[in-house]
Amino acid sequence: MSARFRLALVIAVSLVWRTVQSVAENGDVDDIETILNNARNYNKNAYPTQFIDKPTTVTIQMYIEGMSSFRAQSMDFQVDIYFQEQWLDERLRHNGTRRILIKDPHLFNLIWHPDLYFANARTAEFHHVTSPNFLVWIYPNGTVWYDCRISLTVICMQNLARYPLDSQSCTLRILSYAYDYEQLLITWNGRNPVETNEEIRMPDMRLRHIKPGLRNDTYATGVWSCATAEFHVDREIMHHILQSYVPTSLIVVISWFSFWLDVEAVPGRVSLSITTLLTLATQSSAARMALPQVSSVFP
């Protein structure tokens, strides 16, 4: 075998390998359609374990990219997350040696996927710049990995009885919309399924920790598997000390000066008292503007 022939053979093998690798990673239309054609009578409306009378297990995890202030007036907060789901669909097994990447929403809609939603989110939206922020990997054994980026406005009923010396606990609830716990089970992935960006900073709150949990929620329509993430936050007191406590304390101290004035200096004493009273009223009004109307006084 000549050196020229061996070189040509090496180049040919390299080109074939790169082509196979590219197809496996790029998730060509033919790949997913071939898998679906090989799976006879594939029904995207049937969950993977429907015909063996077992619930499909969906494993989830989250990465918290950013959070905004916990608003007391609207009782909510905003969070930007990367949300991952994983499940096994043996109907999608293939003979490839590498995972298949799907970036086309149309192709993703050809296969069954969980209908998870955030039960106590006021609003939720996907990111589409510069392209839809999601990916799907299909592994040879049929394992499907789904990853997307979502921005949420989450309802958080806060107890403001100890404001601004309070701490809050807000729970994010994740459920399936159509499948009860006998059809779909939600579990967290690993021991640390909720990770956070270490650079998260909020002007009025400090994130203490996030506690993942699992439970079953009972509704009129049945029992549903539910995953929870409890956000525990402490209110930053320094802002309130500088904006409320220190000015109010100084005004009170200034009002004491009237006791050192001569008893004959009636106009001066009256002016000082009225000025401090009006200043306190203005300070109190500004503080009330930043708070919702609550009836609780003590915890």
Alpha-carbon distance of 281 to 279, in angstroms, equals 5
pLDDT at 297 over 90: no
Choose between 117 and 43: higher pLDDT. Answer: 117
241-290 classified as CATH 1.10.490.130: no
Strands (E), the chain: 56-67, 76-88, 100-102, 116-118, 121-126, 134-138, 143-155, 167-176, 184-188, 194-196, 205-219, 222-235
DSSP string, 113-172: ---EEETTEEEEEE--SSS--EEEEE-TTSEEEEEEEEEEEEE-----TTTTS-EEEEEE
Ordered by start, the domain boundaries in the chain are 56-235, 241-290
Choose between 266 and 65: higher pLDDT. Answer: 65
Confidence of residue 2 (pLDDT cuts 50, 70, 90): low
pLDDT at 66 over 50: yes
Confidence of residue 46 (pLDDT cuts 50, 70, 90): very high
Alpha-carbon distance of 263 to 207, in angstroms, equals 54
**Contacts (Cβ under 8 Å, ≥6 apart) of 85:** 58, 59, 60, 113, 114, 116, 145, 146, 147
pLDDT at 289 over 80: no
Among left, alpha and beta (phi > 0; psi -120 to 50; other), residue 272 is: alpha
Q: Percent of the chain having pLDDT more than 70?
A: 83
Q: What are phi and psi of 73, to 5 degrees?
A: -75, -45
Lowest-pLDDT range of 4-8, 174-178, 268-272: 4-8
Choose between 27 and 173: higher pLDDT. Answer: 173
Average pLDDT along the chain: 84
Total length of the chain: 299
Q: Which of 60-74, 140-154, 259-273 has the highest mean pLDDT?
A: 140-154
pTM, two decimals, is 0.78
pLDDT of residue 195: 96
**Residue 31 is which amino acid?**
D
Confidence of residue 4 (pLDDT cuts 50, 70, 90): low
Choose between 206 and 297: higher pLDDT. Answer: 206
Query: Could you say which architecture CATH assigns to the domain 56-235?
Result: Distorted Sandwich (2.70)
pLDDT in tens, 122-180: 999 999 999 999 999 999 999 999 999 999 999 999 888 888 888 999 999 999 999 99
pLDDT of residue 242: 81
Strands 194-196 and 143-155: unpaired
**Bridge partners (DSSP) listed for residue 211:** 230
pLDDT at 241 over 70: yes
pLDDT of residue 298: 53
pLDDT in tens, 193-225: 999 999 999 888 999 999 999 999 999 999 999
- CB of 77 within 8 A of CB of 156? yes
pLDDT of residue 1: 52
